[in-house]
């Protein structure tokens, strides 16, 4: 472990929301912290707020009163930049502006010792660029915290082209000493989280644009079937559409307009309208007293079908496509629905994928084709698709899409079947890949590309998305669970269906597919 010694002095420059949070965790971990800001009142406010936070933690029993007092005593205001000259680590959390950050680090370099580490909390500027003008650029590293810092465990430790390995390793180990979960990443636009998370929003916008459902319905499916803490629209309402749109534009531009990252015209309109989310009282939802609760689409109660069959063997190790089907079948069986393994002629569809059958309907896990397309391909009109769930055993809701050719009776039977197993059934309009599957496939695709391009490791991307944005499962662990083969099939069908480069399959997914390898060992 090469963390900075516990008696080292840490300076935090910029005492806004991020700086105060960083100072709070460093002092709580036993380090002396000097706080500086061009506005002295920002430092006083931060010191006051942090003191209150410690008192709250002590009340909740998360630290003792003595620890809270000691941590408070370790925090000092720096009256001028010169006061931080004895620090071993400086963490910068000032305005997000390259020239201002460069200016600050140039000033700092003239003050601090040669072995002092300079860290930037930038979320969008190249660490390489911030370091470029320094006398010793190898000492500058990104230390990217997430908001609110005391609650979010992730720290992305970002190496620019010149950053020394030793410096990155020290900051990584120091983050652990501060109680955080760090990951290493190369300085590339969006680093890990702000890049890999883009499809979570982008696919939401696509679904809305194609009228798969309204925002409340899509949010609910991502939450109650996908297991995400928040759906994309409620999350963007929280972040602010102006902020989210600007991050999307910045990543899109930084990747030279790669269609993967194309911003949404719909979001631009939200910004144009001033519907920025919670902070403006209106985004997709209304906020404030008396605001109506969002209502997601749900199908009305239908009769349970009498005969249900499964058309394929679903053995195996529980991972992959057949593992997904098996867990859904288990949920049906636990609800005392008999699922016959004998398929009668009525359910015989011309599709190799495992299907459930009832009342003439063939029911498949979405593979990235629309239900209408699949019904046409199979010459089986009564086709209904269901969406991915994080865990069918516990999911409250299941999303389905019916083919345009599907009869009302067959569709009603499918709804009745899932309702009998305790699901709320939400119908999405027949968009390719439905909501959770399409989002997860694109998250996995982006995560695989980040790994393929040497931005980070497989373990790092999965930790980053869980600890930085609370995803219920790392995208690559999710690809393993659904099966790399199925993820590639979904992406392939999306690419084919839309004819857009946006859905091109990551070379790393193809490589895993060729060998049958998974991202994580079991």
Binding site for ligand NAI (CB under 6 A): 13-19, 37-39, 42, 93-96, 100, 104, 121-123, 145, 147
List beta partners, residue 386: 365, 400
Annotation says 80 is catalytic: no
When the beta carbons of 206 and 241 are compared against ligand NAI, the nearer one is 241
When the beta carbons of 6 and 147 are compared against ligand NAI, the nearer one is 147
d(CA 230, CA 470): 9
When the beta carbons of 5 and 40 are compared against ligand NAI, the nearer one is 40
Least distance (Å) between residue 122 CB and ligand NAI: 5
When the beta carbons of 44 and 330 are compared against ligand NAI, the nearer one is 44
For residue 489, the tally of other CB atoms under 10 A from its CB is 19
Q: Which of 123, 175, 264, 445 is catalytic?
A: 123
Cis peptide before 241 (omega within 30 of 0): no
Annotation says 156 is catalytic: yes
When the beta carbons of 182 and 320 are compared against ligand NAI, the nearer one is 182
Q: Which of 8, 144, 445, 486 is catalytic?
A: 144
Angle of helix 265-273 versus helix 241-254 axis, rounded to 10:
140
- DSSP helix/strand/coil, 209: helix
d(CA 492, CA 474): 22
Q: Which of 121, 126, 175, 194 is catalytic?
A: 194
Least distance (Å) between residue 43 CB and ligand NAI: 8
Annotation says 299 is catalytic: no
When the beta carbons of 168 and 353 are compared against ligand NAI, the nearer one is 168
Least distance (Å) between residue 435 CB and ligand NAI: 27
Report the DSSP pairing between strands 140-145 and 75-77.
Answer: unpaired
Least distance (Å) between residue 79 CB and ligand NAI: 12
Q: 360 to each of 321, 326, 377, 423, how far by Cα in Å?
A: 23, 21, 17, 21
Q: 476 to each of 52, 149, 166, 292, 459, how far by Cα in Å?
A: 40, 25, 28, 37, 9
Annotation says 241 is catalytic: no
Torsion over CA: 60, 64, 69, 70 (sign): negative
**Can you read off the two tokens belonging to residue 265?**
């015209």
Least distance (Å) between residue 132 CB and ligand NAI: 17
Q: Which of 156, 203, 224, 234 is catalytic?
A: 156
| Cβ contact 244:236 at 8 Å | yes
Q: Which residue is nearest to ligand NAI (CB)?
A: 16
d(CA 25, CA 309): 56
Report the DSSP pairing between strands 154-159 and 361-365.
Answer: unpaired
Least distance (Å) between residue 49 CB and ligand NAI: 12
Question: Hey, which residues are catalytic here?
Answer: 123, 144, 156, 194
């Amino acid at each position: 472990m090469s963390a900075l010694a516990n008696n080292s002095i840490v300076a935090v420059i910029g005492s806004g929301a991020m700086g105060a949070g960083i100072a709070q965790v460093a002092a709580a971990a036993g380090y002396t912290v000097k706080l500086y800001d061009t506005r002295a009142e920002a430092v006083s406010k931060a010191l006051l707020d942090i003191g209150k936070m410690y008192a709250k933690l002590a009340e909740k029993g998360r630290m003792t009163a003595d620890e809270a007092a000691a941590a408070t005593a370790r925090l000092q205001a720096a009256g001028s930049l010169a006061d931080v000259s004895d620090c071993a680590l400086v963490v910068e959390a000032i305005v997000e502006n390259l020239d201002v950050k460069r200016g600050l680090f140039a000033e700092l370099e003239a003050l601090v010792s040669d072995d002092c580490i300079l860290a930037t909390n930038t979320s969008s500027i190249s660490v390489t660029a911030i370091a470029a003008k320094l006398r010793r650029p190898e000492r500058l590293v990104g230390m990217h915290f997430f908001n609110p810092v005391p609650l979010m465990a992730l720290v992305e430790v970002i190496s620019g082209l010149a950053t020394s390995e030793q410096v990155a390793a020290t900051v990584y180990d120091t983050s652990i000493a501060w109680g955080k979960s760090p990951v290493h990443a190369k300085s590339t636009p969006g680093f890990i989280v702000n890049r890999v998370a883009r499809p979570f929003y982008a696919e939401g916008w696509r679904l809305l644009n194609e009228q798969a459902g309204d925002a409340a319905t899509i949010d609910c499916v991502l939450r109650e079937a996908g297991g995400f803490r928040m759906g994309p629209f409620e999350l963007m309402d929280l972040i602010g559409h102006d902020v989210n749109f600007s991050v999307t534009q910045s990543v899109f531009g930084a990747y030279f307009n790669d269609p993967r990252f194309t911003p949404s015209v719909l979001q631009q309109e939200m910004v144009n309208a001033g519907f920025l989310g919670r902070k403006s009282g209106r985004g997709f939802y209304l906020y404030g007293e008396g605001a109506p609760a969002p209502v997601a689409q749900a199908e009305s109660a239908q009769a349970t079908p009498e005969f249900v069959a499964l058309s394929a063997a679903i053995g195996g190790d529980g991972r992959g496509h057949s593992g997904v089907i098996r867990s859904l079948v288990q949920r049906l069986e636990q609800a005392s629905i008999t699922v016959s393994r004998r398929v009668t002629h009525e359910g015989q569809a011309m599709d190799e994928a495992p299907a459930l059958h009832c009342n003439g309907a063939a029911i498949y896990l979405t593979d990235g084709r629309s239900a209408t397309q699949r019904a046409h391909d199979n010459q089986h009109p009564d086709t209904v698709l269901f969406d991915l769930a994080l865990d069918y055993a516990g999911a409250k809701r299941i999303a389905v899409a019916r083919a345009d050719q599907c009869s009302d009776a067959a569709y009603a039977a499918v709804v009745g079947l899932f309702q009998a197993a305790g699901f709320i059934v939400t119908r999405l309009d027949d968009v390719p890949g439905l909501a959770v599957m399409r989002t997860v496939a694109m998250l996995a695709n982006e995560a695989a590309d980040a790994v393929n391009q040497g931005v980070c490791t497989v373990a790092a991307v999965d930790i980053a998305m869980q600890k930085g944005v609370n995803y219920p499962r790392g995208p690559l662990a999710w690809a393993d669970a659904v099966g790399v083969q199925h993820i590639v099939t979904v992406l392939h069908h999306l690419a084919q269906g839309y004819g857009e480069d946006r859905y091109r399959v990551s070379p790393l997914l193809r490589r895993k597919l060729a060998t049958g390898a998974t991202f994580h060992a079991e």
